């Protein structure tokens, strides 16, 4: 029972002949150009704050994908890292006057430590229990965010100062802020890309495909899973910290289980285990929320229905379907 | 009587009251998981739906059909709501979950999560998000009973007794009757049971409906106590997940006992350190994971 099967993902192996690999590399290059081009010019075409929100969520989804897409672990508690780091960074900037970059690093350290604790507990159980445990542990973080004296209770932390980057770049200027967020996103994305393509990443994918076999090959799978969990949590924290600086607030919404659900939807919609999928998925979900914000709580119905449709009809996600259609792997 | 003891007993009774809800919900979750290997995230939303069905039957149904004097009360609701919620569950199983068998169980968790969002969103749109009180509490169960250490609402006492009876009845059906035997056999080896000429897909649908109906029943029972709100099931389902991790989903009695015990512990925690009351179950889960990773009554799967 503890052999997880992802037929959708495994199928790619059969698709990629040598021709498929060449085509895959070419297509990947196209995606890279599109992504970098978009990140550079987007603030001139779209509302910059919207794009910044998009990039923060894209990084969050990519970090999440490292865990579900490449290690096969479904965490239902990633909002704890995203929201927790947002609170820590927000507090450090507001109360201690810490500059933005050390503030984000503090958030990342916090979420790494939290990720270590949550991960170490959750990997004691397999499969579906893993999801339930992460959800329950994230709820502890939520209640802490609600009840601790420094978090501002229901209001959250408001009026977080953006500060100056390296002491002289004023982040209150929208474009400065934008390119800072873009840089954080690109660095995070490259780190994830590196992890996936490293020998370590290959072991993670082996665990996803067949954990007992990876174990029998002599890999300490628990240690690899824990490592992946900590990395994913850390990067999710970076995304949350950056978001708290962009929007100048950290709120309970960031730490709520519904946020954990949203990041799952982004990743699933874009394509589990694809490189660019979570970015596409984050784009769709954030745009959908922005576009539908006029209809109030119907948004939740639409999000839920998208979830259902995705799981029933569309399990490979947008990028996954595209990759399959073009017969390439690793997009 | 010593005031502290009195306080502990009083909070213990309120905790027991929550505990029977935990027990009934984790029982339904465990039955569904046992046969279908599906963790039903929508269980909390079905509980909420049950409460809303009771509210609608009392306050709105009469108006809808043009007979505003008609209030369908608590006792009919206690029968009707579980049936309605159960039917909804069966439709969900038949037309959605069925397509996901054989895939990784996380997909069915995600599907039921989507159903949760849809149900919550719909009820938020049509009803007050912050909650509506249920006016249909039966006349016969109003007032309080003197328990010696506190005055306890008669209705809550009824809920405790009734829920425990329901849990025992479910246990009896599953462990001691022929239908239960088929169900348990289906859990162990569905192919073999099929070979004996039992319609396993229909059994699965009925089981899902039954588990959902239990959630709906808990919802009706909860309606007069808590206000009926679209979000009443949302936080509850996470607690239920923790209960299930602690107890393990392998045993019916395990689920029931764990639910009741955790409700009691939560209640008593309120006496000593109130802010910890809503996290104590999660911390207990951590302890159980460290000491007995498979859960108190569980076998690892």
Taking each helix axis from N to C terminus, what angle separates B154-176 and B178-188, rounded to the nearest 10 degrees?
A: 70
Residues in a beta bridge with A250: A157
Q: Supply B290's token pair.
A: 């460290």
Give me the residue from B111, B241, B294 closest to A308, CB to CB. Answer: B111
Span A166-199, pLDDT tens digits: 878 888 888 899 999 999 999 999 999 999 999 9
Distances (CA, A) of B63 to B2, B81, B127: 52, 18, 15
CB B76 within 8 A of CB B148: no
Continuous segment of H or E residues that includes residue A169: strand A169-170
Contact B125 A298 (CB under 8 A): yes
The answer, for A314 touching chain B at a CB cutoff of 8 Å, is no
Give residue A125's region: left, alpha or beta (phi > 0; psi -120 to 50): beta
Range of lowest pLDDT (A180-189, A212-221, B138-147)? B138-147
Span A46-83, pLDDT tens digits: 899 999 999 999 999 999 999 999 999 999 999 999 99
Task: Enumerate the domain spans of chain B.
Answer: 3-15+31-235
pLDDT score at B299: 61
Per-residue pLDDT for B112 more than 70? yes
Give me the residue from A128, A301, A308 closest to B96, CB to CB. Answer: A308
Name the average pLDDT for chain B: 89
* pLDDT band, residue A2 (cuts 50/70/90): very low
CB B246 within 8 A of CB B258: yes
Distance between CA atoms of B113 and A135, rounded to whole angstroms? Answer: 12
Give me the residue from B113, B234, B278 closest to A143, CB to CB. Answer: B278
Nearest CA in chain A to B105: A128
Transcribe B220-244 into DSSP letters.
HHHTTTS-B-TTTTHHHHHHHHHHH
* pLDDT band, residue B49 (cuts 50/70/90): very high
pLDDT score at A17: 62
Name the average pLDDT for chain A: 89
- Three-class secondary structure of residue B86 per DSSP: helix
Distances (CA, A) of A319 to A33, A315, A329: 16, 11, 11
Site of tokens 């069925």: B98
Nearest CA in chain B to A1: B301
The answer, for A135 touching chain B at a CB cutoff of 8 Å, is yes
Task: Enumerate the domain spans of chain A.
Answer: 55-255
CB A282 within 8 A of CB A259: no
Contacts of A137 in chain B (CB under 8 A): 282, 285-286
CA B210-B216-B220 angle, to 5 degrees, is 140
pLDDT score at A10: 45
B223-234 mean pLDDT:
91
- High-pLDDT (> 70) share of chain B, %: 98
The answer, for A136 touching chain B at a CB cutoff of 8 Å, is yes
Higher-pLDDT residue of B28 and A1 is: B28
Give me the residue from A4, A140, A299 closest to B282, CB to CB. Answer: A140
Distance between CA atoms of A183 and A186, rounded to whole angstroms? Answer: 5
Sign of CA dihedral B216, B219, B224, B228: negative
3-state DSSP percent of chain A in helix, strand and coil, to 5: 75, 0, 20
Distance between CA atoms of A298 and A101, rounded to whole angstroms? Answer: 38
Contacts of A296 in chain B (CB under 8 A): 125
Residues 33-92 of A with CB under 8 A from B: 74
Give residue B255's region: left, alpha or beta (phi > 0; psi -120 to 50): alpha
CB B14 within 8 A of CB B152: no
Span A287-325, pLDDT tens digits: 988 888 877 778 889 999 999 999 999 889 999 888 888
Contact B301 A299 (CB under 8 A): no
Contact B279 A305 (CB under 8 A): no
Residues in a beta bridge with B132: B228
Per-residue pLDDT for B64 more than 90? no
Distance between CA atoms of B248 and A124, rounded to whole angstroms? Answer: 13
Span A259-285, pLDDT tens digits: 999 999 999 999 999 999 999 999 999
- Three-class secondary structure of residue A77 per DSSP: coil
Distance between CA atoms of A205 and B228, rounded to whole angstroms? Answer: 46
A200-209 mean pLDDT:
93
């Amino acid at each position: 029972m503890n052999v997880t099967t992802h037929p959708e993902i495994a199928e790619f192996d059969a698709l990629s002949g040598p021709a498929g690999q060449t085509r895959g590399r070419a297509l990947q290059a196209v995606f890279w150009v599109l992504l970098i081009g978009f990140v550079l010019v987007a603030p001139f075409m779209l509302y910059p704050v919207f794009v910044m929100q998009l990039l923060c969520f894209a990084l969050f989804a990519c970090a999440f994908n490292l865990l579900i897409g490449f290690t096969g672990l479904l965490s239902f508690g990633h909002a704890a890292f995203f929201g927790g780091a947002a609170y820590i960074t927000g507090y450090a900037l507001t109360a201690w006057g810490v500059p933005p970059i050390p503030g984000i690093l503090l958030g990342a350290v916090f979420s790494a430590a939290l990720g270590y604790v949550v991960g170490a507990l959750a990997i004691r159980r397999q499969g579906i229990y893993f999801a339930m445990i992460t959800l329950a542990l994230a709820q502890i973080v939520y209640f802490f965010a609600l009840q601790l004296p420094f978090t501002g209770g229901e209001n959250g932390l408001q009026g977080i100062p953006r500060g100056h980057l390296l002491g002289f770049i004023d982040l209150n200027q929208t474009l400065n802020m934008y390119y800072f967020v873009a840089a954080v996103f690109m660095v995070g994305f490259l780190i994830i890309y590196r992890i996936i393509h490293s020998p370590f990443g290959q072991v993670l994918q082996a665990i996803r495909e067949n954990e007992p076999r990876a174990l029998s090959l002599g890999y300490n799978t628990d240690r690899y899973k824990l490592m992946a969990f900590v990395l994913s949590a850390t990067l999710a924290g970076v995304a949350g910290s950056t978001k708290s600086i962009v929007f100048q607030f950290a709120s309970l919404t960031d730490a709520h289980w519904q946020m954990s659900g949203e990041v799952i939807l982004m990743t699933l919609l874009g394509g589990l285990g694809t490189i660019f999928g979570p970015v596409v998925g984050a784009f769709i979900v954030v745009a959908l929320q922005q576009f539908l914000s006029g209809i109030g709580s119907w948004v939740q119905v639409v999000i839920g229905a998208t979830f259902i449709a995705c799981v029933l009809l569309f399990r490979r996600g947008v990028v996954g379907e595209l990759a399959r259609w073009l017969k390439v792997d690793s997009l | 009587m010593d005031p502290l003891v009195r306080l502990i007993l009083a909070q213990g009774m309120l905790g027991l009251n929550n505990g029977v809800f935990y027990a009934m919900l984790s029982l339904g979750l465990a039955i569904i998981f046992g046969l279908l290997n599906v963790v039903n995230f929508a269980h909390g939303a079905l509980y909420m739906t049950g409460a809303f069905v009771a509210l609608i039957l009392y306050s709105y149904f009469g108006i809808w059909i043009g007979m505003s004097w008609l209030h369908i009360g608590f006792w009919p609701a206690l029968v009707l709501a579980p049936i309605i919620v159960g039917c909804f569950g069966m439709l969900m199983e038949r037309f959605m979950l069925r397509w996901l068998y054989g895939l990784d169980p996380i997909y069915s968790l995600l599907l039921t999560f989507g159903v949760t969002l849809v149900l919550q969103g719909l009820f938020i749109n049509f009803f007050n998000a912050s909650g509506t009180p249920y006016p249909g509490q039966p006349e016969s169960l109003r007032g309080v009973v003197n328990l010696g250490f506190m005055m306890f609402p008669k209705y809550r006492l009824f809920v405790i007794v009734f829920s425990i009876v329901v849990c025992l009845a479910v246990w009896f059906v599953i462990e001691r009757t022929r239908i239960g035997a088929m169900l348990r056999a289906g859990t162990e080896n569905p192919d073999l049971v099929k070979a004996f000429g039992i319609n396993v897909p229909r059994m699965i649908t009925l089981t899902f409906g039954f588990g959902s109906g239990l959630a709906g029943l808990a919802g009706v029972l909860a309606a007069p106590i808590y206000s009926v709100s679209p979000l009443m099931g949302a936080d509850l389902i996470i607690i239920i997940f923790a209960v299930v991790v602690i107890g393990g989903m392998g045993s019916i009695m395990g689920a029931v006992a764990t639910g009741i015990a955790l409700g009691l512990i939560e209640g008593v925690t309120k006496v000593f350190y109130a802010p910890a009351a809503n996290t104590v179950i999660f911390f207990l889960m951590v302890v159980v994971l460290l000491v007995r990773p498979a859960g108190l009554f569980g076998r690892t799967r």
